[in-house]
Amino acid sequence: MTDTQSTTPKVSCLPERFGLGLILALVTVLGVMIGAQIWKNRILTEDTSIDYNKFYPPLAAQIKQAQSVVLYEGLPHQIFEKDSLDRELDTKQTVEIHQYPFYREPLPLTKEDATTLITLFCDGKTIKPDSAYVSMGYRTQNPDGSFTTAGRACGGFHPDYCIEWHVNGKQFYMQVCFGCCMVKIFGPEGALRCDIDSSDDGPLGKVLRHYHKNRPARSSR
């Protein structure tokens, strides 16, 4: 059929196309918002505590005695780099550590940096109380029983690295998210969520940022 045989003006299709494009755009935005909220809720509902005063001192006392340190590299972001994440999971060897995937092969951490990571964890300054914990007066809930949460417009917790410490037959893990400026620490006695300084000038960032092997170039976050 040639164009001259068509009796429907092309201009009549524009509103329909515009409407379809608008719907697709709204669906995309809504999908990102829902995905971010799911991962945000995951942070709030998973088995991690913000009770810094209870959990941090014994964690620091044990990690100070670490005999070895292992560093794992995180995969692409689950929201902002979803396609890249799917490709990496399909083609690379990975290991899951406390619900998040990491490249199976550890990064070649130097002895000096391994010692520095132990020192930073135990110095009482690098690993900071969660901001919600601070705002509630260093409590896990307000006096009236309500909770204060720390709002973070980062698309959800995503560990860029995972540090593994071996201490007298025990294993401790710290997942580091530079996007949220947050860490999650896991040990045999429980799990703790804390804040850290920004990735650009923070002490952890200065040590870890030059360790990179498998993860594709990061999208802007």
Tens digits of residue pLDDT in 10-47: 333 434 444 555 444 454 444 434 343 333 333 333 46
Range with the poorest average pLDDT among 111-125, 132-146, 176-190, 203-217: 132-146
User: What's the rounded Cα separation, in Å, for the pair 74 and 81?
Assistant: 12
pLDDT, tens digit, 9 for 90 and up, residues 131-182: 989 989 988 888 888 887 765 656 678 999 999 999 999 999 999 999 889 9
> What are the tens digits of pLDDT across the range 92-113?
999 999 999 999 999 999 999 9
Residues 6 or more apart from 130 whose CB is under 8 A from it?
A: 50, 52, 150, 182, 193, 194, 195
Collapsing DSSP to helix, strand or coil, 72 comes out as strand
Predicted TM-score of the model (pTM): 0.76
Calpha distance 66→172 (Å, rounded):
9
